[in-house]
Amino acid sequence: MTDGLPKPPSGGNGRLLPPDAGRDRPLFVVAAILVFLACIAALGARGAWLQAQRWTTDLETSLTIQIRPGESRDAEADATLAAEITAGFDGVEQATSRGRDHALALLTPWLGEGNLPDDLPLPLLVDVRTRPGSLVDTEGLQARLDAEGMTARIDDHGRWAQAVRRAAGTAQALGLGLLALLAGAAAAVIAFAARASLAARLDVIDALHLCGAEDRFIAGLFQRRFFMLGLKAGVAGAIFAGLVSLLVSLGDAPADMAFFLPQWASDPFEFVLLALAPILAGLTSAISARLAVASDLRGRW
Amino acid sequence: MRYGRGPEILRDLSFDLPRGSFQFLTGPSGAGKTSLLRLIYLAAKPSRGLISYFGRDAATLPRNELPDLRRRVGVVFQEFRLLGHMNVFDNVALPLRVAGRKRQDYAEDVAELLAWVGLGEKMNALPATLSGGEQQRVAIARAVVGQPEVLIADEPTGNVDPEMGMRLLRLFAELNKLGTTIIIATHDLQLVRMLDAPVMTLSNGHLHIRPPRSERLRMREEAEAEAEAERVSAAPAVAAPRTPDPDDPSNPDTDMTGGHDD
Ligand SMILES: Nc1ncnc2c1ncn2[C@@H]1O[C@H](COP(=O)(O)OP(=O)(O)OP(=O)(O)O)[C@@H](O)[C@H]1O
Ligand SMILES: [Mg+2]
């Protein structure tokens, strides 16, 4: 009765799940913000670690020797001698004795210029730069200086390095803890949204079920949808986080602030992290959506 | 069965649908036709009683076996339940797609079926833009496209003109000839009269089964033959009482089976 059958519509399959713009957009924004914060936290933890590394190598490659002026001793000569002796030690790159002028300059900010009597005994400093990665035998050095009869104190900054490292460790743990919390929050938000989306689409679910769709099939639909949502939100959040950290490192924040801000060190780590973020966001979203939907479906007959 | 804590709307019914049979289900609105069908297509569990389904007890059926059973059953819902965001073609192709078949394998068949139900020109339309009768035909096409072993149709001709109703009924009869078990719920007694099929009537939660007309005629002939024989033997000729029209299912007097409501 129909001559020439009508052609089936060309093009792919229509979407089984209707687009859900009203719900998806706010969810996208929330997910993007979570990814952004997670990236910032990760970059911050990384920044703290880098900064600490830089400072501790600075501290670890330098020693300071303090020469106390003693009775009937020429402090300037002692300092020069100490520099010479130190320069002969293994691992020392350079030892410079700082004269009285340097010591005075260090005090000026506190005491003002010219307020000190010329004959006031001042401790003199010897700056020692060591080769990175090599240990200087500070005990041997102390013994040598003592043998010369001078009152010298070697400060290897170990205390400071340790403090910096501890602070960096704390900042890092904070960053990672924050990361874990954000991941948990993201998973919960997605699970909630997936359940809501399932509930709003019960007509579709029923129709699919009665057509013989398996739970796996239906859960797969939601999984794909939420993977895409997580992926897109992840891309947006990661790009934004990258921009912010770039801005932070372009503007010169003081070092103590930079400690807590994400730094764009433009090394592969940043790129890997930012590239991984959308994928991780997509996977987190897909898995939590799948689990939520599967558990909801099991409750229905 | 009952809904929640409501009254029991179906009780003490017992029947079976033999493979390859064709049955009508009638009864006043609210009698529970849809509810009974829901039990049959496994959308609801009975609050008590046994439904055996392809030899399996529905109450103990594990959930993961439902999809397979449901694929063997096509359902036309009273309210169609088309997916509003998908076009007619995709709606009809849904069971095939859910069963994991490839679009290029079924596209022609679906188009042909749609042309047959008179929707060849509307394949790209969304359900919301169709008339009630057109939507109904989409729902029917979706139910039969997977060539189910059992077809359950709830008021499948409620929204179409008599001519289209006949045509759809012919489609059902055709499928039945090919071996599909068919059960059709309808108010339309005109339709019921068209086919020589058993009619199950629901009222007050009870089911009442009337055998097909051919069988009733045969039974009446037998009864009349018996009566005739008695009359002949018992002499005085009395005018036989007028028998009511056997084709009128609304006439309770035509029921020759008696005692079937258990
Ligand atoms: N989901 C439900 N929850 C509670 N009660 C329901 C539900 N569905 C149906 N009922 C009740 O069950 C009874 C039977 O309804 P059902 O839909 O099976 O009737 P029906 O014979 O199909 O009627 P119609 O011919 O109008 O389609 C009605 O009294 C109705 O109120
Ligand atoms: Mg009904």
User: Is residue B89 located within the same domain as residue B134?
Assistant: yes
Judge whether B216 lies within some domain: yes
- Mean pLDDT across A127-138: 78
Among residues 153-212 of chain A, which lie with CB inside 8 Å of chain B? Answer: 203-204, 206-212
Judge whether B4 lies within some domain: no
- Cα distance between residue B115 and residue B205, in whole Å: 40
Give the mutation target among B5, B35, B47, B189 for probing the ligand 1 site: most ligand atoms within 8 A of CB. Answer: B35
Q: Which residue has the higher pLDDT, B208 or B76?
A: B76
Judge whether B29 lies within some domain: yes
Give the mutation target among B33, B36, B186, B204 for probing the ligand 1 site: most ligand atoms within 8 A of CB. Answer: B33
Task: Indicate the range of A235-239, B154-158, B230-234 predicted with least confidence.
Answer: B230-234
Judge whether B13 lies within some domain: no
How far A21 CA sits from the closest chain B CA (Å)? Answer: 13
Chain B residues lying within 8 Å of A207, measured CB to CB:
81-83, 94
Q: Residue B125 is part of which domain span? A: 83-147
Percentage of residues of chain B with pLDDT beyond 90: 16
Orientation of helix A138-147 relative to helix A75-87, angle to 10°: 140
User: Is residue B131 located within the same domain as residue B164?
Assistant: no
Say whether residue A73 is in contact with chain B using an 8 A CB cutoff. Answer: no
Q: Which residue has the higher pLDDT, A36 or A4?
A: A36
Strand partners for B57: B52
Query: In this complex, do A212 and B98 lie within 8 Å of one another by their Cβ atoms?
Result: yes
- Mean pLDDT across B76-89: 89
Chain A residues lying within 8 Å of B79, measured CB to CB:
none
User: Is residue B187 located within the same domain as residue B126?
Assistant: no
- At residue B139, the pLDDT reads 92
Query: In this complex, do A14 and B114 lie within 8 Å of one another by their Cβ atoms?
Result: no
- Phi and psi based region of residue A138 (left: phi greater than 0; alpha: psi -120 to 50; beta: remaining): alpha
Q: Does the pLDDT value for residue B238 go beyond 50? A: no
Half-sphere exposure of B81 (CA within 13 A, CB side): 21
Chain A, nearest residue to B62 by Cα: A301
User: Is residue B154 located within the same domain as residue B46?
Assistant: yes
B95 close to B147: Cβ distance less than 8 angstroms: no
* Domain count of the fold of chain B: 2
Q: How is chain A split into domains, by residue range?
A: 21-56+162-298, 62-131
Instruction: Select from B147, B166, B189 the last residue of a domain.
Output: B147
- Cα distance between residue A186 and residue A192, in whole Å: 10
Judge whether B187 lies within some domain: yes
Identity of the residue in A8, A19, A210 whose CB atom sits nearest the CB atom of B110: A8
Judge whether B119 lies within some domain: yes
- Mean pLDDT across A205-226: 87
Chain B residues lying within 8 Å of A215, measured CB to CB:
63-64
Question: What is the torsion angle, in degrees rounded to the nearest 10, for the CA atoms of residue A85, residue A91, residue A97 and residue A103?
Answer: -130
Chain A residues lying within 8 Å of B107, measured CB to CB:
8
Ligand closest in space to the Cα of B35: 1
Read off the CATH number of the domain in which B197 is found.
Answer: 3.40.50.300
Instruction: Select from B120, B147, B174 the last residue of a domain.
Output: B147
Distance of CA B144 to the CA centre of its chain: 13
User: Is residue B24 located within the same domain as residue B134?
Assistant: no
Judge whether B34 lies within some domain: yes
User: Is residue B101 located within the same domain as residue B157?
Assistant: no
- Cα distance between residue B38 and residue B234, in whole Å: 53
Phi, psi dihedrals of residue B238, rounded to the nearest 5°: -115, 145
User: Is residue B139 located within the same domain as residue B168?
Assistant: no
User: Is residue B100 located within the same domain as residue B133?
Assistant: yes
User: Is residue B143 located within the same domain as residue B166?
Assistant: no
Q: Does the pLDDT value for residue A232 go beyond 90? A: yes
SS3 of chain B: the string is: CECCCCCECCCCCCCCCCCCCEEEEECCCCCCHHHHHHHHCCCCCCCCCCCEECCEEHHHCCHHHHHHHHHCEEEECCCCCCCCCCCHHHHHHHHHHHCCCCHHHHHHHHHHHHHHCCCHHHCCCCHHHCCHHHHHHHHHHHHHCCCCCEEEEECCCCCCCHHHHHHHHHHHHHHHHCCCEEEEECCCHHHHHHCCCCEEEEECCEEEEECCHHHHHHHHHHHHHHHHHHHHHHCCCCCCCCCCCCCCCCCHHHCCCCCCCC
A60-99 confidence digits (pLDDT tens): 778 888 888 777 777 778 888 888 888 888 888 888 888 7
Say whether residue A11 is in contact with chain B using an 8 A CB cutoff. Answer: no
Judge whether B92 lies within some domain: yes
Site residues for ligand 1, CB cut-off 6 Å: B 3, 6, 9, 27, 29-35, 78
Query: In this complex, do A8 and B116 lie within 8 Å of one another by their Cβ atoms?
Result: no
- At residue A13, the pLDDT reads 66
Question: How many A/B residue pairs have CB atoms within 8 Å?
Answer: 90
Chain B, nearest residue to A15 by Cα: B86
- Mean pLDDT across B126-143: 90
A234 close to A29: Cβ distance less than 8 angstroms: no
Confidence of residue B230 (pLDDT cuts 50, 70, 90): confident
A255-270 confidence digits (pLDDT tens): 555 555 566 666 777 8
How far A208 CA sits from the closest chain B CA (Å)? Answer: 7
- Cα first-last separation, chain B: 16
User: Is residue B94 located within the same domain as residue B143?
Assistant: yes
A21-30 confidence digits (pLDDT tens): 667 788 889 8
Nearest protein Cα to ligand 1, atom 4:
B3
Instruction: Select from B121, B147, B173 the last residue of a domain.
Output: B147
Nearest protein Cα to ligand 1, atom 7:
B3
Chain B residues lying within 8 Å of A206, measured CB to CB:
43, 81
Give the mutation target among B3, B10, B152, B204 for probing the ligand 1 site: most ligand atoms within 8 A of CB. Answer: B3
Task: Indicate the range of A118-132, A158-172, A272-286, B248-262 predicted with least confidence.
Answer: B248-262
- At residue A6, the pLDDT reads 66
Q: How far is the CA of B24 from the centre of ligand 2 (A)?
A: 13
Chain B residues lying within 8 Å of A217, measured CB to CB:
98
B141-166 confidence digits (pLDDT tens): 999 998 899 999 998 888 888 888 88
- Mean pLDDT across A236-241: 92
